[in-house]
Amino acid sequence: MENGVVIEDWIPCEGQGKPAFASSQKGNELWVSILEKVHAKLYGSYEALEGGVVHDALVDLTGRIN
């Protein structure tokens, strides 16, 4: 069995249907929001990601060693 993360298709949004957290600059792509949602699920919540640094997130997402 492969390792994976299962998420539902609900993306938290703020006014006018824009994602509340990360989003693509193009505005019509969901991959950024979905990737962030997977990352938040691995850490337990979106709140667990707040205050983090980009370097740590990139290490998590790419598998590079610090």
Handedness of CA 56, 58, 59, 60 (dihedral sign): positive
Report how far residue 63's alpha carbon sits from residue 58's, in angstroms, rounded to the nearest whole number: 8
pLDDT, tens digit (0-9, with 9 covering 90-100), for 3-62: 778 888 888 888 888 888 888 888 788 888 888 888 888 888 888 887 777 788 788 878
pTM of the model as a whole:
0.71
